[in-house]
């Protein structure tokens, strides 16, 4: 799916300097939804978390503390 591909592409990049904990859900949302109004970021975070949990279930990502990491890529 397109959103999952976006998440994976972002996880391949180094996290931004304002995300010292790595690619948290919030940092991912800020990157992916940068062009959207911040009011949409809350619902976007929920949707992103669902995608991340699906990817984790498939063994494609993992969560370390608050940060998501890409596995095997």
Sign of CA dihedral 9, 11, 16, 19: positive
In order of 1, 13, 24, 56, 62, the CA distances from 66 in angstroms are: 24, 17, 6, 14, 10
pLDDT of 73 strictly over 80: no
pLDDT tens for 17-67 read 888 789 999 999 999 999 999 999 999 999 999 999 999 999 999 999 999
């Amino acid at each position: 799916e397109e959103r999952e591909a976006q998440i994976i592409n972002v996880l391949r990049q180094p996290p931004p300097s304002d995300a010292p904990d790595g690619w948290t859900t919030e940092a991912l949302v800020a990157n992916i939804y940068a062009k959207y109004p911040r009011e949409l970021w809350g619902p976007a975070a929920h949707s992103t978390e669902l995608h991340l949990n699906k990817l984790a279930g498939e063994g494609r990502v993992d969560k370390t503390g608050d940060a998501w990491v890409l596995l095997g890529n």
